[in-house]
A and B are shown apart, each in its own frame.
Chain A
């Protein structure tokens, strides 16, 4: 079985500042890793995913994440956030056909 821990439940950040959302996973086998974003009253949308290959993954809206096998982490970063990045962000992992989600991190971007 695999699981995901998101280390921060809430992250307030000022507009144009960088942000990092932390995610650690636990699995006895190789996993695939994902970051999803949920805007208010919306479904989840895929930001990026790591399947194999390069450990630095670039996604939509200027987000990127780095897979670190030794630290079992998959942290999400954006160098400069916008007000529109205010949302909840979910890290997820999978090694079969179903996703296991973290508890989510709420990002609030202030002007």
Chain B
């Protein structure tokens, strides 16, 4: 298995532009998580899905952030409009468990977003 695949690995964009981050989870995993990592705030959970349905989006910082999971093999995190303070590394992770509460998450390589 190729693991969790994220694209792009690096993204540089201008303030005000729309940014879309993509994630392909490990096949067969029921849970998908989006995390943001910054020096100031560490690793923050933004949103997670179970069987393609958003379960908890309480970590999404603002309405400028949105996430979708149209099918079991693809998810997007969109920022519109982007701001410099959104600069961070965004990780996608997936987990194989449903009905068992031991969430070993498998992480992608991350997308390093820089908003200038």
User: Assuming A43-B4, A43-B110, is B56 touching A49 (CB within 8 A)?
Assistant: no
B19-50 interface with A by 8 A CB criterion = 31, 33, 42-43, 45, 48, 50
B-side interface mostly: strand
Query: Whose C-beta in chain B lies nearest to the C-beta of A30?
Result: B101
Task: Kindly list chain B residues whose C-beta atoms are within 8 Å of the C-beta of A32.
Answer: 101-103
Is B105 on the interface with A (CB-CB < 8 A)?
Answer: yes
Task: Kindly list chain A residues whose C-beta atoms are within 8 Å of the C-beta of B33.
Answer: 98-99
Query: Shortest Cβ distance from B91 into chain A, in angstroms?
Result: 6
Q: How many B residues face the partner with a CB closer than 8 A?
A: 24
Is A103 on the interface with B (CB-CB < 8 A)?
Answer: yes
Is A46 on the interface with B (CB-CB < 8 A)?
Answer: yes
- How far does the alpha carbon of A32 sit from the alpha carbon of B101 in the complex, in Å? 8
Task: Kindly list chain A residues whose C-beta atoms are within 8 Å of the C-beta of B101.
Answer: 32, 94-97
Contact A97 B108 (CB under 8 A): no
Is A89 on the interface with B (CB-CB < 8 A)?
Answer: no
Query: Shortest Cβ distance from B33 into chain A, in angstroms?
Result: 7
Contact B50 A43 (CB under 8 A): no
Is B55 on the interface with A (CB-CB < 8 A)?
Answer: yes
Contact B43 A101 (CB under 8 A): yes
Contact B42 A103 (CB under 8 A): yes
Contact A97 B91 (CB under 8 A): no
Is A90 on the interface with B (CB-CB < 8 A)?
Answer: yes
Task: Kindly list chain B residues whose C-beta atoms are within 8 Å of the C-beta of A99.
Answer: 33, 45, 103, 105
A28-47 interface with B by 8 A CB criterion = 32, 34, 36, 41-46
A positions within 8 Å CB-CB of B: 32, 34, 36, 41-46, 49, 51, 90, 94-104
